[in-house]
Amino acid sequence: MPVITSDAGGAKYLVNNGVDGLIFKTGDHNALAARVSELFNDRELATKLGRNAKKTAMIRHDPVEIIKRYKELLNKFIEI
């Protein structure tokens, strides 16, 4: 399922606008309504964003990938 989020807080760093979700300006209720309407009326877009969101989540939360990123980070500190 694609995500619709505002540009406030950390969610904007987790959602790639137009790739795996949609972002709207905080407090802009018309923009939120437009984003919801966009997904409701464009099933192809909703499906694409949903698939991409699933892929993104699987990569971000895959234990093997997480360990790989920690190793890379630790190696950077060791090099310093």
Residue by residue, DSSP assigns the chain as --EEEESSTTHHHH--BTTTEEEE-TT-HHHHHHHHHHHHH-HHHHHHHHHHHHHHHHHHT-HHHHHHHHHHHHHHHHH-
Q: How many domains, in total, are found in the chain?
A: 1
pLDDT tens for 29-62 read 999 999 999 999 999 999 999 999 999 999 888 9
Q: What is the residue range of 40's domain?
A: 3-79
Read off the CATH number of the domain in which 8 is found.
3.40.50.2000
In this predicted structure, what is the pLDDT of residue 26? 96
> Cα–Cα distance between 24 and 33 in angstroms, integer?
9
Please tell me the pTM assigned to this model.
0.75
